[in-house]
Amino acid sequence: MALERVLITGAAGALGRVLRAHLRGRYPLLRLSDIAPMDPAGPGEEVVPADLADAPAIDRLLDGIQAVVHLGGHSVEGSWEQILRANIVGLVNLYEAARKAGTERVLFAS
C-alpha cells in the first residue's frame, strides 16, 4: 500500500525542517508536530502542536497516520525530569498511539 499520510515529530528542529522541505508534496498529507513554533502549513501539510508526554494528544495526532518519522524529544543536556518526560514517556506514548492507530511504520531517529 502506498503511503499517503505521514507524520514528522520534532518538525520544528533542524532535521525536521530539512525533512519537511524534502517530503513536501510527496504525500497527500504531511502532518507536522512539535511543541516549538513552526512555519504555517503549506499545501498538503497540517501543523499540529503536541507535547509527546500528553498521551491523549498523541493518540489524536496519530489518528489516520500510516507512517511516522520520530525526531521529537529533548535533544540537549537537561535535567532527568526533562529527559524522562520528552524522551522516555514521550516515546512510549508515541509507540502506544501508533499501535492503537494501526500505524504501519515508525522510523525513530535519535
Assigned CATH topology for domain 5-108: Rossmann fold (3.40.50)
- Given a contact cutoff of 8 angstroms between Cβ atoms, the answer to whether 31 and 66 are in contact is no
Q: pLDDT at residue 106 above 80? A: yes
Ordered by start, the domain boundaries in the chain are 5-108
How does 33-44 read in b/e, with b if 16+ C-beta sit within 10 Å?
bbbeebeeeeee
> pTM of the full predicted structure?
0.94
Residues 51-93 have pLDDT tens digits of 999 999 999 999 999 999 999 998 888 899 999 988 999 999 9
